[in-house]
């Protein structure tokens, strides 16, 4: 079975939603059709579409920057079109300004999400919807698959006061929605007065993993090289809130994780006893950049053997808890600024509250750390129902 993205449907002429409009395009390297031709090239060549401006999210329009690196872009060297970077060094740079939207009929969003609440592209979409509402510019989402499918919901909500660029509005860590569906949900939740149009996919069902769609995988960000990375990411991104290595600086980020001084065999044994659907291989790795660069780290590589049984968010919690127990006083939470916030610990922003950090510090069990999730997961499942397209 194969699916067609919103971009594929525009290219095929199945919709003329962009015809006669002056548009800006929010894109990155993964904004390609099923033939791997980029949306910029397709829309620039479309006879009825006037593409006049490009916008780049975190990592940049052409995907050159690592995480949390400001991107200053002015002109796209391939097309000569002006580029507005939406990830600078301050919060104010994350949303398009009125002058960035001037003269546009619509801002077209074509970014591949990975199904985890911390992935910042959906928050760039929300900020763009708010800005476009103020500017009287429509937002058109060219929808793409949730690589993890659309059935499983997992993780806690965001408590008031813990909103950030890894969660500007409350979603569970694994939300089971496409970007188009999230746009519909947030437009309704916040009563955003923007003209929102979603070009839905054809041939995609909620049970599909990305490798069942027939679509090519293109890295949506520098540390999301494969679908396997995306599968573990909703849990292992929590490691960013610690001084453990989440495997950045290796060729298997988020699948590899650990820290100097960890007994990798003890760590693997603990995780195997608590997490189904995966094997945990003891490893030693040496990151080439970011945390513990050039230092040997004990840890594990996660080999998911049954993605339908693997509890990806819970596995990340289990990893941090086990590492904290093994390291004892050598375990540290990240205290440096994270995604433009310096007065709330990074783990609290990622987890949506201070509860996870407090529970791990108290060495609560995995069951105790995740026992409250069920009620909020069920509540979110009910809330999202009206926004679903598939």
Per CATH, the homologous superfamily of domain 6-215+383-387 is: Uncharacterised protein PF07075, DUF1343 (3.40.50.12170)
Q: Which fold has domain 227-353?
A: 3.90.1150
The answer to whether 306 touches 290, Cβ cutoff 8 Å, is no
The pLDDT tens digits for 225-246 are 999 999 999 999 999 999 999 9
The answer to whether 389 touches 204, Cβ cutoff 8 Å, is no
Interhelix angle 179-190/121-135, nearest 10 degrees: 50
At 303 the pLDDT is 98
At 200 the pLDDT is 98
Rg (CA), the chain: 21
Average pLDDT over every residue of 268-283 = 98
The pLDDT tens digits for 100-150 are 999 999 999 999 999 999 999 999 999 999 999 999 999 999 999 999 999
User: DSSP string of 115-144?
Assistant: SBTT-THHHHHHHHHHHHHHHT-EEEEE--
Average pLDDT over every residue of 178-188 = 98
At 103 the pLDDT is 98
CA dihedral 74, 79, 95, 246 (to 10 degrees): -90
Token pair in block for residue 381: 């499942």
Instruction: Tell me: pLDDT of 385 over 90.
Output: yes
Q: ∠310-385-373 over CA atoms, to 5°?
A: 40
The pLDDT tens digits for 318-372 are 999 999 999 999 999 999 999 999 999 999 999 999 999 999 999 999 999 999 9
What CA–CA distance (Å, rounded) separates 125 from 110? 10
At 1 the pLDDT is 62
What percentage of residues in the chain have a pLDDT greater than 70? 99
Token pair in block for residue 13: 């002429």
Domain with CATH 3.90.1150.140 in the chain: 227-353
Q: ∠269-270-275 over CA atoms, to 5°?
A: 100
Average pLDDT over every residue of 7-27 = 97
Q: What is the mean pLDDT of the chain?
A: 96
Categorize the per-residue pLDDT at 97 as very low, low, confident or very high, splitting at 50, 70 and 90: very high
Domain with CATH 3.40.50.12170 in the chain: 6-215+383-387
The answer to whether 365 touches 153, Cβ cutoff 8 Å, is no
Instruction: Tell me: pLDDT of 69 over 80.
Output: no
User: DSSP string of 40-68?
Assistant: HHHHHH-TTEEEEEEEE-TTTTTT-S-TT
The answer to whether 134 touches 120, Cβ cutoff 8 Å, is no
At 48 the pLDDT is 95
């Amino acid at each position: 079975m194969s699916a067609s993205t919103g971009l594929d449907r525009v290219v095929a002429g199945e919709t003329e939603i962009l015809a006669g409009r002056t548009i800006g395009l929010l894109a990155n390297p993964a904004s390609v059709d099923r033939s791997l031709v980029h949306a910029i090239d397709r829309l620039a060549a479309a006879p009825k579409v006037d593409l006049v401006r490009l916008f780049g999210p975190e990592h940049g329009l052409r995907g050159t920057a690592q995480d949390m690196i400001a991107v200053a872009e002015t002109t796209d060297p391939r097309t000569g079109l002006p580029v507005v970077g939406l990830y600078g060094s301050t919060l104010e740079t994350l949303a398009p300004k009125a002058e960035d939207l001037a003269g546009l009929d619509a801002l077209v969003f074509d970014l591949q999400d990975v199904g985890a609440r911390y992935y910042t592209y959906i928050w760039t979409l929300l900020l763009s919807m708010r800005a476009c509402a103020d500017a009287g510019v429509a937002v058109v989402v060219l929808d793409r698959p949730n690589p993890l499918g659309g059935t499983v919901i997992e993780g806690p909500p965001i408590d008031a006061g813990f909103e950030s660029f890894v969660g500007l509005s409350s979603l569970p860590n694994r939300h089971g929605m496409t970007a188009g569906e999230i746009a519909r949900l947030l437009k309704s939740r916040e009563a955003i007065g923007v003209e929102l149009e979603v070009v839905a996919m054809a041939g995609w069902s909620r049970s599909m993993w990305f490798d069942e769609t027939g679509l090519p995988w293109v890295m949506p960000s520098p540390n999301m090289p494969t679908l396997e990375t995306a599968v573990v990411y909703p849990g292992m991104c929590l490691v960013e809130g610690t001084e453990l290595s989440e495997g950045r600086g290796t060729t298997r980020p988020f699948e590899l994780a650990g820290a100097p001084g960890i007994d990798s065999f003890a760590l693997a044994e603990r995780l195997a006893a608590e997490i189904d659907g995966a094997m945990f291989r003891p490893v030693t790795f040496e990151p080439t950049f970011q945390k513990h660069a050039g230092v040997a780290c004990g840890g594990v590589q996660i080999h998911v053997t049954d993605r339908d049984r693997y509890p990806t968010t819970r596995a990340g919690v289990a990893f941090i808890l086990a590492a904290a127990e093994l390291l004892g006083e050598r375990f540290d939470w990240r205290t440096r600024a994270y995604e433009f916030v310096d007065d709330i610990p990074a783990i609290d922003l990622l987890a949506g509250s201070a509860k996870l950090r407090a529970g791990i510090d108290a060495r609560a069990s995995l069951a105790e750390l995740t026992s409250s999730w069920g009620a909020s997961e069920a509540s979110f499942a009910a809330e999202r129902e009206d926004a679903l397209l598939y």
